[in-house]
Amino acid sequence: LRCMSERGCYLKVFPAKTSFEEIKAWNPDGYFLSNGPGDPASMEYAVETAKQILIEDKPLFGICLGHQLLALSIGIPTYKMHNGHRGINHPVLNLVSGKGEITSQNHGFGVSPEAIRDNEDKVEITHKNLNDDTIEGIRLKAHKAFSVQYHPEASPGPHDARYLFDDFIQMIDKDKNALTNTTVTTSNTT
């Protein structure tokens, strides 16, 4: 929330089991799927909400559990990791920029790399873990949606990935400009 409000966003938090109709009624410019505990495959209600957000075709950003839910929403399965990622020193390679990032992580589930590679027409791998090559970030090709497995908002922790919040705000601005064909100010609704 802090990372979004620092960027001029007006925010509303909804409980995990809130219906999509109630969330949509707030008329947000973008959606953010946050982190949280547990096995994402057991959260059918959240996967369904993510699917409905994709149909809505507004910008979507997911982190950690939100990353896993986004993957599940397009049919990419998750799995329980043999050794989860815990700590504030996980090296991640941004495959788009070529830059390395030191990230904060706290998860025991991952997104299936085999299923992503089998669905390259739908999804692009944007980040990978340099310790074990697990998938750390994806972007959907047919939607304005991306996610990362780690915590770019970490506090305390590394701030290498805070640019992702800027990328999300830019995606919202671009989407709003495409819809209204006017200039958008920095006071976005997320």
Residue 46: how many other CB atoms lie within 10 Å = 21
| ∠ Cα 53 46 143 (to 5°) | 30
Q: Which two tokens stand for residue 41?
A: 């495959």
Strands of 123-129's sheet, edge to edge? 31-33, 60-63, 145-148, 135-140, 123-129, 78-94, 100-111
Q: How far apart are CA 67 and CA 72, in angstroms?
A: 9
Residues serving a catalytic function are 64, 151, 153
